[in-house]
């Protein structure tokens, strides 16, 4: 099995764990994945809520929370730990600076184009920078901007297809359009990157993501040329996942028909497990009275049907009357809760099987 190389970083098993907020992938899950040779990822989304006891100031609590999660992850693992930061977060800059100063191995940046991300390195940090994109066009644009403005080539790209959980970088009509499937997007991106790779004299790994659930899925995209795969939903139903048991059980109980596309207050479509709360939203019965955090740049609470950060936090705690779980298209395949080690063993066995 090939390793994933991010510059001088070697990820032994080409499996990246998706960064899932609010509170779903923290130090517990990230360190467990890293200990199995994969790349574990802590999500920044909602840390100010998770650490509200430290400070009532959402920004200060978020910074403290990220420091704590990185510290705990490093105590539990000597493996590779990354941080997922949504560009749409109002505290994006704080989260990037904290990730760098606390020695995160990788920053994954999506939900927007991180056009100025290399500027934060200031020539003194070794953290690898990996944008999350949904098209070859976005990836090439980022390459051009980063190389021109900062003489920096992205250390890799995560190419996230429309079967992913959470926020999707697609128009609603594109989600079920075969022309926008990961199977179509991956070869296009690999082909477009060849020119830049030749110019810069280095390979730019592509990590395939979105709807990848088992080792057979993973092998298919690795055989197509991806350097690694990213899985999120598969790791939710593990002992080490930081979510509540009720959150994990929402996956176990879900049917394929429960996987639904919603319009998020962030301004993007998203995929989630249908819940009582989402029915109330559909019926127009939820409405935020105020904006408690101003956590998302694109969110206007006067036009939003609900506060997404509070809804995801409630789901993290297991309260589905007031929240919902984001999930990939194949999350309903979960049958039981297993350990991260068992999950890796299953994935690697399936990836190595000849069909």
pLDDT at 301: 60
pTM of the model: 0.94
pLDDT at 292: 66
pLDDT at 43: 97
| Centroid of chain to Cα 82 | 10
d(C-alpha 19, C-alpha 4), whole Å: 18
Instruction: Provide DSSP, 262-321.
Output: EE-TTSSEEEEE--HHHHHHHTT----SS-SS--BTT--TTT-SS-HHHHHHHHHHT-TT
pLDDT tens, N- to C-terminus, the chain (355 residues) = 689 999 999 999 999 999 999 999 999 999 999 999 999 999 999 999 999 999 999 999 999 999 999 999 999 999 999 999 999 888 999 999 999 999 999 999 998 899 999 999 998 999 999 999 999 999 999 999 999 999 999 999 999 999 999 988 888 899 988 899 999 999 999 999 999 999 999 999 999 999 999 999 999 999 999 999 999 999 999 999 999 999 999 999 999 999 999 988 877 899 999 999 999 988 888 776 666 666 676 666 667 778 888 899 999 999 999 999 999 999 999 999 999 999 999 999 999 985 5
CA distances from 189 to 133, 154, 169, 202 (A): 10, 14, 15, 16
d(C-alpha 229, C-alpha 302), whole Å: 39
Q: Does domain 4-243+338-352 have CATH number 3.30.420.40?
A: no
The residue among 185, 153, 156, 155 whose CA lies nearest residue 169 is 185
Structure tokens at 154: 């992205």
DSSP state of 3: P
3-state secondary structure of 184: helix
Per domain, the residue ranges of the chain are 4-243+338-352, 245-326
pLDDT at 337: 98
Per the omega criterion (within 30 degrees of 0), is the bond before 22 cis? yes
Strands 259-263 and 39-43: unpaired
Strands 269-273 and 166-167: antiparallel
pLDDT at 123: 87
pLDDT at 193: 97
pLDDT at 57: 92
Burial class (CB in 10 A: 0-12, 13-18, 19+), 307: buried
Exposure string of 174-202, with b = 16+ CB inside 10 Å and e = fewer, is: bbeeeebbbeebbeebbebbeebeeeeee
- Cα torsion angle, 267, 149, 40, 85, sign: negative
d(C-alpha 137, C-alpha 199), whole Å: 18
3-state secondary structure of 229: strand
Structure tokens at 34: 């890293």
3-state secondary structure of 189: helix
3-state secondary structure of 206: strand
Q: How many helices (H) and strands (E) does the chain have?
A: 12, 14
Strands 325-326 and 269-273: antiparallel
Burial class (CB in 10 A: 0-12, 13-18, 19+), 212: buried
């Amino acid at each position: 099995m090939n390793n994933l190389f991010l510059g001088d970083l070697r990820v032994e098993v080409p499996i990246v764990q998706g960064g899932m907020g609010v509170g779903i992938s923290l130090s517990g899950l990230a360190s467990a994945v890293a200990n199995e040779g994969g790349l574990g990822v802590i999500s920044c989304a909602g840390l100010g809520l998770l650490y509200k006891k430290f400070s009532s100031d959402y920004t200060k609590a978020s910074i403290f929370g990220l420091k704590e999660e990185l510290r705990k992850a490093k105590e539990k693992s000597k493996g590779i730990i990354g941080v997922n930061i949504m560009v749409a977060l109002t505290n994006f800059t704080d989260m990037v600076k904290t990730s760098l100063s606390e020695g995160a191995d990788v920053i994954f940046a999506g939900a927007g184009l991180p056009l100025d991300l290399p500027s934060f390195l200031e020539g003194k940090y070794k953290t690898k920078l990996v944008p999350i994109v949904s098209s070859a066009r976005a990836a090439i644009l980022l390459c051009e901007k980063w190389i021109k403005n900062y003489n920096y080539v992205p250390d890799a790209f995560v190419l996230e297809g429309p079967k992913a959980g959470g926020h999707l970088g697609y128009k609603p009509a594109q989600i079920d359009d075969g022309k926008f499937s990961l199977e179509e997007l991956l070869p296009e991106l690999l082909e477009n990157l060849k020119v830049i790779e030749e110019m810069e004299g280095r390979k730019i790994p592509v990590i395939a993501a979105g709807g990848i659930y088992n080792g057979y899925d993973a092998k298919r995209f690795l055989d197509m040329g991806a350097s690694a795969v990213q899985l999120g939903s598969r790791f939710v139903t593990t002992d080490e996942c930081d979510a509540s048991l009720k959150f994990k059980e929402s996956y176990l109980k879900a049917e394929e028909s429960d996987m639904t596309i919603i319009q998020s207050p962030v301004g993007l479509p998203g995929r989630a497990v249908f819940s009582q709360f989402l029915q109330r939203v559909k019926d127009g019965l939820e409405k935020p009275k105020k904006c408690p955090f101003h956590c998302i740049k694109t969110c206007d609470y006067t036009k939003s049907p609900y506060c997404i950060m509070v809804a995801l936090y409630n789901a993290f705690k297991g309260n589905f009357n007031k929240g919902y779980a984001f999930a990939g298209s194949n999350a309903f395949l979960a049958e039981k809760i297993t350990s991260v080690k068992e999950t890796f063993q299953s994935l690697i066995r399936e990836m190595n099987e000849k069909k």
